[in-house]
Amino acid sequence: MVLQRRLNYGFSGYEVPAVPRASRSPRGRVPIRKKRDDNRIPAIEILACVAGKLLQDAENSSPNAACREEWDNIFENTIKCKQGHHQRYNEDEAKVSKRDPCEQEICKENFTCEFSRVPGLQGHRQSYKVSEFSRAQGNFGFKTNSTSYFADHSRVGRYSSNSVEFFRGHVDRVIETKSEAKLFRPSDKISFAPQTRGFFRGQIDSVTERKYEAKPSIIGTNKSEIFPVKGSLDTLELNLKPPSPVRPESDLKASLFRCRKTCGSYSRRCANAEVDIRDVDENSVCCPQPSRPIPNIVEQSIRNFSTSRQWRGAPNLKGGACRRTDWKRKPAYCNGRPCHTRQRSQRISPYKRRKFFDRIPLPTLDGRFHHKPTFNSPYKRGNGDNCNGANGASSSAAGQQALPKSTSRDCNVKLSIKSFTVPELLIEIPSTATIGSLKRAVMEVVTANLGDGLHVGVILQGKSVRDDNKTLFQTGIYHDDDHRSLGFILEPNHAPISSHPQAEDPHLLSGSRPQDLMRRTTSLTLQPKPSDFSSLPPVMNLHSSVDNNFDVVCSLTDISTNNAMPNSQALFAVPAITMEALPVVPLQQNPRHPEFVQRRTRRPFSVSEVEALVQAVEKFGTGRWRDVKLLAFDSAKHRTYVDLKDKWKTLVHTARISLQQRRGEPVPQQLLDRVLAAHAFWSHHQAKQQSN
């Protein structure tokens, strides 16, 4: 245990990228040199000041060292800023009230600070939300936007735009992008990742708004939890108050406890809180009972993840094979893992979310799939307290226990499976192909995905029923009145774990017509690790809640019960916990995680496409990629304007290099000449425009 970890940040050592990115032209057409308002200060400076002080004070004052030790956090800050008058100020002027950081995290407090005596900031108020993102060892940080983000003891990174974050302590590195790395040492001061600059004006505001808009419930607070400000002296004073009206310090623990309890946050602050996982039965896993030690289940699942996860970016890092492994597997570390990063798994920008869902199996929303769900979907959408899928499962189990023996045993169970639903399969076939060859192609894809042998899995109320020896009655299938709670999954006959993700995706049977071949992108990028999601059937197909990604996680997790995973049950505790109590479990394998997102398949431009592109660019010039897209590639859904821009870039490059250096399908020289000509022309044109 690293109990004596020290805070190694300060306010003099942070690096803020000084040079703003080269001015861009609005919409890329007419470059405009915009003068920066020198009086503005980067939001991160203020944030660093505030949050740093907050943490510093908290660490100095927290009565519970073990707690502190455990709270290796990443704080998330949400900035709400309504004014734009900022002047540089001395960071030392910031002062933050001393509070236990645990309190903040558990309660998910919002707080408001007011710049009282800071020149130019007087009267300016900001509300922040401090929330836990990760309690991984040695980290903390925060960010101000809503895009996805990750961090743990061995890596810190982000995958977001316009984010603001910093880290301290044992952070080894910050990954800027997959190809960029920045090393951090424990002695580092706060360092700001380059490219994470935000100004109070404009964008952070909007990002904040978007976040609230996207998921009002994730805020987990209400107006009463936004605390008024008390200005004082020459300081920027921050008042942090727990939601409870009771303030006395002596009440802190009690209120903490209450909060933890009510929020469903299960904080493990003591090392002795570990509980044998065997002590936890299936039901409680899925449905936390008040008396059950849920946090430990969660932790168990965290362990599962942490031992299996991989970070594919790691080997490529500059600076370093020095990935920390020395302490990462220490029990202390495991025990210290967070149990309730509530928002994290919801945090995803609409864009990222869409991006993700574009690539995972989803029901086609054409109505055919809107039949009744195969099982009772207890999932609720949108309000953040969803993820009761496991509740459904456990309640069924509970119902099973309570089932009176007098229930008619000879009552036949009538089931009808009207069709197999095979999720999306991508098939590309020329229009000249015959229907017969199309059928064969479909068959090929299906068999490739399902493998030779099929196994039927049974799902009852969201929970996979693995015990083949149980009777229907024992399992709880004794009425025929609601077979919506019953579902079937097609699975490969064996080896739930396969390195071939497509072959291991069991597919769901559901009640639509046989002709309804549901489409499904076959490629969730699943890591072939035994205990990750790769063994989870895409039962999310049942849920059409496209925009509630948490539902997907729920269904993913609570349905899969893989016998090859001894602790798999622990995994499925996750959805049973309310939003407030969500652990960081999906940190790595979270399908929403950018690491999880599959790269698009490469689709080289054909010569005719190139021709169309050249023609369009000749007409519109470089920098009007939307127009180019609309003109020449409107029907080509897979070609985005970014693609076209990229292709043009490579075309220009290709035209400039020698024939031998070129790769891929050769582009006629004549076309390349046009590329160069158009490029030269429009470059010149742009330069002229700019000078005017």
Contact residues toward DNA (CB under 7 A) are 20-29, 32, 34, 147, 158-163, 176-180, 195-198, 202-203, 351, 594, 597, 599-603, 622-627, 629, 638-639, 641-643, 645-647, 649-650
At a CB cut-off of 8 Å and minimum separation 6, what does 34 contact? 23
Closest distance to DNA from the beta carbon of 149 (Å)? 9
Residue closer to DNA (CB basis): 305 or 620 = 620
What is the 3-class SS of 562-585, one letter each residue? CCCCCCHHHHCHHHHCCHHHCCCH
Closest distance to DNA from the beta carbon of 27 (Å)? 4
Closest distance to DNA from the beta carbon of 574 (Å)? 25
Residue closer to DNA (CB basis): 523 or 569 = 523
For the chain, the straight-line distance linking the first and the last C-alpha, in angstroms and rounded, comes to 64
Residue closer to DNA (CB basis): 42 or 288 = 42
Radius of gyration in angstroms for the set of CA atoms belonging to the chain, rounded to a whole number: 28
Residue closer to DNA (CB basis): 177 or 474 = 177
Residue closer to DNA (CB basis): 68 or 359 = 359
Amino acid at 683: S
Closest distance to DNA from the beta carbon of 686 (Å)? 7
The phi and psi torsions of 432 (rounded to 5 degrees) equal: -85, -5
Task: Tell me how far apart the alpha carbons of residues 37 and 198 are, in angstroms, rounded to a whole number.
Answer: 13
Q: Bridge-partner residues for 157, per DSSP?
A: 150, 175
Closest distance to DNA from the beta carbon of 151 (Å)? 13
Closest distance to DNA from the beta carbon of 297 (Å)? 32
**What DSSP state is assigned to residue 509?**
E
Task: Tell me how far apart the alpha carbons of residues 104 and 594 are, in angstroms, rounded to a whole number.
Answer: 28
- Give the Cβ contact number of residue 436 at 10 Å: 8
Sheet holding 419-420: strands in order across?
Answer: 419-420, 507-510, 486-492, 454-460, 463-465
Angle of CA points 502, 508, 513, to nearest 5°: 120
Angle of CA points 69, 71, 76, to nearest 5°: 155
Closest distance to DNA from the beta carbon of 681 (Å)? 15
Closest distance to DNA from the beta carbon of 505 (Å)? 20
DSSP SS3 for 182: strand
Tokens of 200: 């109070």
Closest distance to DNA from the beta carbon of 17 (Å)? 8
Residue closer to DNA (CB basis): 158 or 529 = 158
**What DSSP state is assigned to residue 370?**
G
Residue closer to DNA (CB basis): 477 or 655 = 655
Closest distance to DNA from the beta carbon of 317 (Å)? 12
Residue closer to DNA (CB basis): 439 or 649 = 649
**If we measure between CA atoms, which residue out of 331, 269, 261 comes closest to residue 302?**
331
Residue closer to DNA (CB basis): 150 or 227 = 150
At a CB cut-off of 8 Å and minimum separation 6, what does 83 contact? 124, 200
Tokens of 63: 């009565």
Task: Tell me how far apart the alpha carbons of residues 506 and 488 are, in angstroms, rounded to a whole number.
Answer: 10
Residue closer to DNA (CB basis): 602 or 688 = 602
